[in-house]
């Protein structure tokens, strides 16, 4: 009778709550470096380790899991409880439960805890399709591939190379909350759009604004896109709408949100057109009073 060969290997596992030390068995044909690839992690990342939060000492799959759990419990908090990612010092291997200093390969079972690993951000991810890269200018890891993005030192963030040399620079453009949903934009995992004025907003929030026919920047009120077609239709509407005689000679001061110029124009119920750039993105203002002499 032919002897059955043992084709399994044992990996030591840390003691459990009962003090028992177990061993995990895997086929010898499998690579320890890739063991369990894609089978571990959370909704945010695929990885073979957990992190110990430096702020509270609790263990979570990733910093987003920590932030969501902690902030859901503290509804009336003033400041959000979030993990300072660069201060993470301990990780726990998902295969053998060994807690250790941050590194790519487990010191106990040798498994690769993340195909992509950044020692600066203490970040692990098995999903290499994201083309994750570390930007020294931003100080964090971003997705999309370093060949597709550039870091603008004036704006303090990464933009698509399609915007290089053509975008409006705004100092620390993403270092603030989204003006619609108020989530911090700089390290948001959701897509961010750059408006013509240089201000930034979540792409989903921008689409939501357009569904409600809002086409001006919620920060500076400048038009978010080319509105020339809309202005032509407003020209036709103004021409077709006659004003009562009492208003025909009424003049008002307007301020253009697009070019910043002031104009003195005929009052109209439909809209007021900027005399400098022909935009209808204007608002009526009071004339600046002249100083009087005593």
| Paired tokens of 119 | 């020692």
The yes-or-no verdict on residue 158 having pLDDT over 60 is yes
Q: CA-CA distance, 283 to 204, in Å (whole number)?
A: 27
CB 149 within 8 A of CB 161: yes
Q: CA-CA distance, 48 to 61, in Å (whole number)?
A: 9
Residue-wise pLDDT tens digits, 63-106: 999 988 887 765 555 556 788 889 999 999 999 999 999 999 99
The yes-or-no verdict on residue 173 having pLDDT over 70 is yes
199 vs 19, more confident: 199
123 vs 19, more confident: 123
What DSSP character marks residue 78? S
pLDDT at 3: 41
pLDDT at 36: 54
- pLDDT average, residue stretch 263-286: 94
| Paired tokens of 281 | 């993105």
Q: CA-CA distance, 140 to 136, in Å (whole number)?
A: 7
The yes-or-no verdict on residue 160 having pLDDT over 70 is yes
- What Å distances lie between residue 127 and 117, 146, 186, 255, CA to CA? 11, 16, 22, 50
- Tell me the pLDDT band of 223, cut-offs 50, 70 and 90: very high
Give the burial class of 164: count Cβ atoms within 10 A of its Cβ; 0-12 exposed, 13-18 middle, 19 or more buried: exposed
Residue-wise pLDDT tens digits, 95-110: 999 999 999 999 999 9
The yes-or-no verdict on residue 163 having pLDDT over 50 is yes
What residue ranges define each of the domains in the chain, with the CATH number in brackets? 8-115 (no CATH), 134-211 (no CATH), 228-285 (2.20.28.10)
CB 134 within 8 A of CB 121: yes
The yes-or-no verdict on residue 27 having pLDDT over 80 is no
Please name which of 222, 214, 180, 181 lies closest in space to residue 198, comparing C-alpha atoms.
222
Q: CA-CA distance, 166 to 104, in Å (whole number)?
A: 39
| Paired tokens of 136 | 């020294």
Question: Whole-model pTM?
Answer: 0.73
pLDDT at 85: 86
Please name which of 135, 219, 143 lies closest in space to residue 182, comparing C-alpha atoms.
219
The yes-or-no verdict on residue 291 having pLDDT over 80 is no
């Amino acid at each position: 009778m032919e002897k059955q060969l043992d084709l399994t290997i044992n990996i030591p596992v840390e003691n459990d709550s009962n003090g028992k030390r177990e061993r995990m068995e895997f086929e010898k044909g499998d690579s320890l470096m890739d063991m369990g690839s894609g089978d571990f992690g959370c909704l945010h990342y695929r990885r073979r380790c957990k992190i110990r939060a430096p702020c509270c000492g609790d263990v979570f799959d990733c910093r987003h899991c920590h932030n969501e759990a902690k902030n859901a419990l503290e509804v009336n908090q003033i400041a959000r409880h979030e993990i300072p990612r660069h201060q993470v010092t301990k990780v726990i291997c998902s295969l053998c439960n060994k807690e250790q200093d941050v590194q790519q390969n487990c010191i106990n079972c040798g498994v690769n805890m993340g195909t992509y690993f950044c020692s600066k951000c203490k970040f692990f991810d098995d999903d290499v399709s994201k083309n994750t890269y570390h930007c020294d200018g931003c100080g964090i890891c971003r997705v999309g591939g370093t060949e597709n993005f550039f870091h603008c030192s004036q704006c303090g963030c990464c933009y698509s190379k399609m915007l290089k040399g053509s975008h409006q620079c705004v100092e620390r453009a993403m270092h603030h909350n989204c003006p619609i949903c108020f989530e911090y934009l700089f390290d948001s995992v959701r897509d961010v759009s750059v408006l013509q004025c240089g201000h930034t907003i979540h792409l989903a929030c921008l689409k939501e604004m357009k569904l409600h026919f809002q086409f001006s920047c919620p920060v500076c009120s400048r038009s978010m896109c080319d509105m020339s077609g809309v202005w032509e239709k407003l020209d036709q509407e103004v021409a077709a709408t006659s004003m009562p005689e009492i208003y025909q000679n009424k003049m008002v001061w307007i301020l253009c949100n697009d070019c910043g110029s002031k104009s003195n124009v005929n009052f109209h119920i439909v809209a007021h057109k900027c005399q400098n750039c022909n935009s209808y993105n204007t608002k009526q203002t009071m004339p600046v009073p002249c100083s009087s002499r005593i």
